[in-house]
Chains A and B, each alone.
Chain A
Amino acid sequence: MSAHDWGDLAADGSADVLLDLALSTLDNSVGYADIRLVEGEELRVYHQLGHDPDERVEHTIGIGVRVLCDGAWGFASMPLADANTPALVAQRALATARAGAGAGPPVRLPPGEAHSGSYATEVAIDPFTVTGADRDALLHNVLKAAAAPTEVVSVQCGVNAKRQHRHFASTEGSRQHQHLVETGAMLVALAARDGDVQRRSYPNSFHGNTGGSGWEFVLSLDMPTNAGRVGEEAVQLLTAPVAPAGVDDLVIGAQQMSLQIHESAGHALELDRILGDERNFAGTSFIRPNDVGSLRYGSPAVSIISDPSVPGTRGSFAFDDEGTPARQARLIDNGIVRNTLSNRDSAARADLAVTGAARSDGWGYLPVCFSTHVYLEPGSGSLDELLDQLKNGYYIDDNRSWSIDNQRLNFQFGTEVAYEVRNGRKGRLLRDFSYGGVTPRFWNSVEAVAGPEELRVFGYPCGKGEPKQWGFLSHAAAPTLVRGVRTGVA
């Protein structure tokens, strides 16, 4: 049986009937409309030191309708209770649009082509067929390994899997059916002694790591072996020297770089932010629409690419959530801003390219600009070669804290670990490392990026919009050499 053969909306034909019910409710006053019909199921299992395991399977099914009517957008969504729901939601979307019509200049959406097709995540081992006993055995071993040192006082570990049927139709004639699966794992350990607390995590410090694939993704993480390391390192940090403050050269590890990309590149390049649509909550961007094509954002070593067509990531898909086909877009090319993360509405207003970055959380929320699979293009060489190039400085990784201003300009990050590097060799472990800077100055200080063999991919959740919704995306990076970074800022 396929990993996609489950639920009420597995059959594209069944979904088409419901999509038609929504579309048929709309009259000629509607300039554009799209319908998203989504069924999802999410499995989460957590083991915690000193507590019973917690396991849950959450099912969701619903429909969201977005209309452009009388020059105004309207959006409505609702759980799919029965066959009357699609028409009801469409009517509410129309009423919502009409209530706001006339408040400002009319919205004009350039006509688009119809895009139809199907897509399914490649899955080797369906995570929903893995037995509970196998999941528990894995997490039991992870917990036991991480908690082995007596100083470890708190451990949380877990595995997660999600499967979705995402069906889309628009008044332009698009019909799309995407069947997605993602799987992941997380581990966080806290060690405490004499009033001090230190934390280590694996494989990503923020909600673990999730990939667009099956249980094979979890197996590839080798969680039990890494759990032992995580527990021991949390204890080692308790007695490690505090990292000094100064201006230093750094090799930043792949995980920390993935968050650096997320915060200071991904968000900064969202076109709805650039245009001010998100200024009330998420903020704006230091990048202006007319910077595209000319702004030197980073050094020539920096190329940042959006490519949801890369398989296996949490940001992989064939069509975004307003039906634009996935494609590669070079956002930063050899240091110059070339594209933004845009949707159709924002691209039309800014007269920029549509890059297919309209994303929404399930059926309940309207699409906004989010990262897709956005990654730093690798350079060449191994981590050891990069450390040789560094000579003296620090190797840091695994985010501990992060903060950036609302223009995505002034940032400050802390990492769980830092290692002294002297003459290209990793030395002492240091604790409480932090660094800060200003986005374009930081990226212009990038001297080199390690090669493809060092590239690692991290799946993230992210929040945006009002009301806030979740976006699910990914970033990839290889260790990166940056010169002259302000450290010890926290």
Chain B
Amino acid sequence: MTPELTPPLAPDDLLHTLDTAVQSKSADDIEIAVLARAGQYTRFAGDVIHQPQDITEVRYLVRAVVDGHAYRTATTVASHLDTAVRTAAAGARQRAKTVGRSGHTTVSGPQPDGPTGRLWFDDVTAFDAAARVTAARSAIAAAGAVGGEAAGMLGRALTQQAVATSRGLLRATVTGEASGSLTVSVADGTAHWIDVGRSADRIQVADSVAWTVAQAVASQRRQELPPGTYEVVLGAEAVGELLHFLPALGFSGELAAAGLGLTATHRGEQVAAELVQVADDAGADVGLPIGFDVEGVTKRRVVFFEHGRVGDPVTDRAIAASLGTESTGHAHIAREEVPAPAAANIVMTPGESTEAELIAGVERGVYLQRFWYTRLADRVAGTITGVTRDACFLIENGKLTTPLAGMRFTQSVPGCLAGVLAIGRETKSQPVMNVWNGATSAPPVRVAAFRLGAAPIEGGNR
């Protein structure tokens, strides 16, 4: 018997519960968002499935508003929902009393549906523990057959999201999710694959295992690469990692409201190459699209780069009001953080070339599969630092040749996007940490110049 995948909360009961709770007269307005997720994961390393997990999470997020002042509460169980509503209302009343003038918080009324990518595929049902264990065993065996080892995680999840407000909004959705990631090590060679989406078949586990094993085999006997600036082909995962930084570079509304970042200082200007088109797009049929945010606002497609020109930031209701615009439907509350709008489904528009064709166009350069531990080093220039990881190769005369050891890089993200020469067609998606239902999807790209290596200072305790 394998554990079934069912919605954490009975859908009809949930809507009734929310509709009743938001009728509370204890505050001017009540908003309740439910974020629930049933996730099942088969995690393996070496020759064992070492951490299979079946995790059900539920959060009822309550916001009460009194005279424009809000107070939030949350709970994991319906039996505490009444308490959460009362506490939120009391908190909002107290805040209104303390401040002594009207605040700015409002809640959403009924919203039109917007376009969304497909949310459910029946193949997620079939991607059960037995199927995932079989796939994990295949990966372990395939790596073992070449003298290597495999580690990874295969998972499926059912996400349930609902929002109700005292202004007549009541909406809910259920989505499926399949995910896979794999690291194969063969001697000093390693390779990595990751993908996530609404469909289990689309992530192509078997093909991805074979590709990762082949890459790991090819990446053995790594050589050091002299620091310098190289033409590069970035694998899909590496490109996705770069796109993770776009919100921090100004495509998040709270920075724009402070007058900081690209959308505040370079809106409409040509910053990336003409080829580059990036948007946060719940209508895309890739990544983890979902139609509305925790304020119940229908997600709009927000263009970050249109033919390389800087577009707009994502916003929630409060930030949009401060910018004099409408919310784009990106309200978010992350753990341990100030609530702030969050891009949740960043997508780079793919091109026509295969990755092999991108590589074939490079006479001498470097292929970088994956970046690791990237961090913003210079907010103004958009410079990040990190290291390359897993299968990286020298490109000579259009072919991958010498495997390369991992190395540090320090590179401007806008500078990299400005140098995009060609874009591949095969998109992979990866989750965004600490963003509910967040993903970034990108194809491989060819870039004219990428700086590898730390600043060229000799000596020190290296």
Residues of A at the B interface (CB closer than 8 Å) are 46, 48-62, 72-82, 92-93, 95-100, 103-105, 107, 132-133, 136, 153-154, 156, 158, 160, 190, 192, 195-197, 199, 207, 245-247, 276-281, 283, 364-366, 400-406, 410, 412, 414, 432, 434, 436-438, 441-442, 444-445, 461, 463, 465-468, 470, 482-490
A403 touches B462 (CB 8 A): no
Residues of A within 8 A of B41 (CB): 466-467
8 CB contacts below 8 A, A to B, read A52-B69, A56-B71, A73-B51, A279-B185, A406-B372, A484-B459, A486-B462, A490-B454
A245 touches B455 (CB 8 A): yes
Query: B280 interface residue, CB < 8 Å from A?
Result: no
- From residue 133 to 153 of chain B, which have CB atoms closer than 8 A to chain A? 133, 136-137, 140, 149, 151-153
A280 touches B48 (CB 8 A): no
Q: A52-B105, A247-B457 in contact; A280/B3 too (CB < 8 A)?
A: no
Across the interface, B76 reaches (CB within 8 A) one of A61, A276, A441, A484, namely A61
A76-B3, A489-B457 known; 13 other A-B pairs, CB under 8 Å?
A: A51-B318, A55-B95, A58-B74, A59-B80, A76-B56, A78-B56, A133-B94, A154-B258, A404-B387, A406-B387, A414-B377, A461-B336, A486-B454
A-B contact count (CB 8 A): 299
Residues of A within 8 A of B130 (CB): 99
Of B117-125, B270-278, B357-365, B378-386, the one touching chain A: B378-386
10 cross-chain pairs, A with B, having the tightest CB-CB distances, nearest first: A486-B460, A104-B48, A56-B72, A99-B129, A100-B49, A58-B74, A79-B76, A104-B47, A76-B54, A489-B454
B48 touches A105 (CB 8 A): yes
B373 touches A279 (CB 8 A): no
Residues of B within 8 A of A107 (CB): 48, 50
Query: B114 interface residue, CB < 8 Å from A?
Result: no
For the complex, what is the distance from the CA of A128 to the CA of B97, rounded to whole Å? 19
- From residue 49 to 90 of chain B, which have CB atoms closer than 8 A to chain A? 49-59, 68-80, 83-84, 87
Residues of B within 8 A of A103 (CB): 44, 48-49, 133, 136-137, 140
- B414 vs chain A, min Cβ distance (A): 14
Residues of A within 8 A of B45 (CB): 276-280
A76 touches B53 (CB 8 A): yes
Query: B327 interface residue, CB < 8 Å from A?
Result: no
- From residue 410 to 462 of chain B, which have CB atoms closer than 8 A to chain A? 410, 433-434, 454-455, 457-462
Residues of B at the A interface (CB closer than 8 Å) are 1-3, 39-59, 68-80, 83-84, 87, 91, 94-95, 98, 103-105, 129-130, 133, 136-137, 140, 149, 151-153, 155, 181-183, 185, 192, 254, 257-260, 265, 318, 322, 333, 335-339, 372-380, 383, 385-387, 389, 406, 408, 410, 433-434, 454-455, 457-462
B377 touches A441 (CB 8 A): no
B71 touches A403 (CB 8 A): no
For the complex, what is the distance from the CA of A346 to the CA of B83, rounded to whole Å? 42
Interface centre among A51, A158, A434, A468 (most CB of B within 10 A): A51
- B284 vs chain A, min Cβ distance (A): 23
Across the interface, B73 reaches (CB within 8 A) one of A58, A246, A432, namely A58
- A390 vs chain B, min Cβ distance (A): 15
A403 touches B386 (CB 8 A): yes
Looking across the interface, which residue of chain A has its beta carbon closest to that of B337?
A207
- A50 vs chain B, min Cβ distance (A): 7
A444 touches B433 (CB 8 A): no
Looking across the interface, which residue of chain A has its beta carbon closest to that of B383?
A490
Residues of B within 8 A of A280 (CB): 45, 151-153, 181-183, 192
Residues of A within 8 A of B379 (CB): 197, 199
Across the interface, B77 reaches (CB within 8 A) one of A76, A80, A160, A468, namely A80
A50 touches B258 (CB 8 A): yes
Q: A410-B408, A432-B378, A466-B181 in contact; A364/B55 too (CB < 8 A)?
A: yes
Residues of A within 8 A of B183 (CB): 279-280
A470 touches B336 (CB 8 A): yes
- B254 vs chain A, min Cβ distance (A): 8
B338 touches A283 (CB 8 A): no
Looking across the interface, which residue of chain A has its beta carbon closest to that of B157?
A467
For the complex, what is the distance from the CA of A50 to the CA of B253, rounded to whole Å? 13
For the complex, what is the distance from the CA of A288 to the CA of B289, rounded to whole Å? 42
Looking across the interface, which residue of chain A has its beta carbon closest to that of B373?
A403
B375 touches A57 (CB 8 A): no
For the complex, what is the distance from the CA of A485 to the CA of B459, rounded to whole Å? 9
Q: A52-B104, A432-B378 in contact; A99/B265 too (CB < 8 A)?
A: no
Q: A52-B70, A103-B133 in contact; A445/B461 too (CB < 8 A)?
A: yes
A52 touches B52 (CB 8 A): no
A467 touches B462 (CB 8 A): no
Residues of B within 8 A of A73 (CB): 50-52
B46 touches A276 (CB 8 A): yes
For the complex, what is the distance from the CA of A485 to the CA of B39, rounded to whole Å? 45
A467 touches B459 (CB 8 A): no
- B245 vs chain A, min Cβ distance (A): 12
Q: A279-B45, A283-B372 in contact; A437/B70 too (CB < 8 A)?
A: no
Q: A132-B91, A276-B151 in contact; A158/B74 too (CB < 8 A)?
A: no
B57 touches A364 (CB 8 A): yes
For the complex, what is the distance from the CA of A412 to the CA of B59, rounded to whole Å? 37
Looking across the interface, which residue of chain B has its beta carbon closest to that of A246?
B457
A133 touches B76 (CB 8 A): no
Residues of B within 8 A of A247 (CB): 457-460
For the complex, what is the distance from the CA of A474 to the CA of B349, rounded to whole Å? 43
For the complex, what is the distance from the CA of A188 to the CA of B39, rounded to whole Å? 35
A485 touches B377 (CB 8 A): no
Residues of B within 8 A of A55 (CB): 71-72, 91, 95
For the complex, what is the distance from the CA of A103 to the CA of B135, rounded to whole Å? 11
A466 touches B461 (CB 8 A): no
Q: A79-B77, A132-B95, A401-B376 in contact; A57/B258 too (CB < 8 A)?
A: no
Residues of B within 8 A of A100 (CB): 42, 49, 52, 129, 133
Residues of B within 8 A of A192 (CB): 259-260
Looking across the interface, which residue of chain B has its beta carbon closest to that of A88?
B56
For the complex, what is the distance from the CA of A46 to the CA of B433, rounded to whole Å? 22
Looking across the interface, which residue of chain A has its beta carbon closest to that of B91?
A55
- A103 vs chain B, min Cβ distance (A): 5
Residues of A within 8 A of B105 (CB): 52
A437 touches B385 (CB 8 A): no
A98 touches B1 (CB 8 A): yes
A404 touches B338 (CB 8 A): no
B137 touches A438 (CB 8 A): no
For the complex, what is the distance from the CA of A156 to the CA of B257, rounded to whole Å? 14
B94 touches A401 (CB 8 A): no
A485 touches B460 (CB 8 A): yes
- B368 vs chain A, min Cβ distance (A): 14
B339 touches A54 (CB 8 A): yes
B55 touches A57 (CB 8 A): no
Residues of B within 8 A of A72 (CB): 48-49, 52
- A113 vs chain B, min Cβ distance (A): 24
Residues of B within 8 A of A410 (CB): 387, 406, 408
A490 touches B410 (CB 8 A): yes
Residues of A within 8 A of B40 (CB): 96
Residues of A within 8 A of B133 (CB): 99-100, 103
Across the interface, B153 reaches (CB within 8 A) one of A79, A136, A466, namely A466
Residues of A within 8 A of B380 (CB): 195-197
Interface centre among B95, B338, B459 (most CB of A within 10 A): B338
Looking across the interface, which residue of chain A has its beta carbon closest to that of B41?
A467
Q: A59-B73, A401-B385 in contact; A50/B322 too (CB < 8 A)?
A: yes
For the complex, what is the distance from the CA of A51 to the CA of B386, rounded to whole Å? 33
For the complex, what is the distance from the CA of A488 to the CA of B374, rounded to whole Å? 18
Looking across the interface, which residue of chain A has its beta carbon closest to that of B370?
A406
For the complex, what is the distance from the CA of A185 to the CA of B239, rounded to whole Å? 35
Residues of B within 8 A of A57 (CB): 72-74, 87, 91
Residues of A within 8 A of B455 (CB): 245, 488-490
Residues of B within 8 A of A96 (CB): 3, 40, 52-54, 129
